[in-house]
Structure 1
């Protein structure tokens, strides 16, 4: 897995796809935060419903921030942190494990396939400039 990076810059296509993954992930996390709040609110004697909501909202906001920072070298690292935190949110809402695995698979696929696509786009642009 040579093209699986944890820090650094990616090509234009790759960072756009990674930002799209994080944007979709933020929606799922925000909805998961509402589920976590509702589950905690139905539990008698649990005052954690508001905390679950705020932590989920924070993670959803972190997804949006990470999507905006994909052009920076450490944006990839922040995206990996978001993927890990999404998997950890499965401790509160078990179905978030499934959501986390789904978006982790999308994340890795975009990292692996994005590099060759960026290289092909650069090759085509260079060929078009020579004509």
Structure 2
């Protein structure tokens, strides 16, 4: 493997794994946005709370969009963008570093393992197609 892809169609298993990862990340990002808003309001910063809420909800929606686009070549690019923006959100809420570490690790792990699994499936399909000859019962 030459490196992690940033754009392009992925195999059947890879795009499914990555879509599940982004879906789970979207749920966590949404709830984290609610917590960040509540903490800001508790600190008497309601304007910051509203901003944090909308930034978090926007990031969660982008993650869901990326999960839906995972079958298309741009899907993996959107997924990487979600990972980068999750890291950038740590500038607003420091605790997002933990979320970013966990989900970036899951993203990379599922990407690597999905690529390996797709290559293995393709190899088995090629072997199966090569071993079956028509009329040889």
The answer to whether the 8 Å contact 1:36/1:93 transfers is: yes
3-state SS of 1:48 partner: helix
Structure 1 vs Structure 2 CA RMSD: 1.6
1:127 CA drift (Å): 3.3
1:92-131 to 2 correspondence within 5 Å?
92-129=92-129, 130-131=131-132
3-state SS of 1:47 partner: helix
The answer to whether the 8 Å contact 1:18/1:110 transfers is: yes
Give unpaired runs (5+ residues) of structure 2: 133-137
Whether 1:62 and 2:62 are equivalent positions in the alignment is yes
* Structure with max Cα Rg: 2
1:87 alignment partner in structure 2? 87
Whether 1:7 and 2:7 are equivalent positions in the alignment is yes
User: TM-score, with normalisation over the residues of structure 1?
Assistant: 0.91
Q: Distance in 1 between matches of 2:23 and 2:44?
A: 34
1:109 CA drift (Å): 1.3
Give the number of equivalent residue pairs: 131
Q: Distance in 2 between matches of 1:99 and 1:9?
A: 27
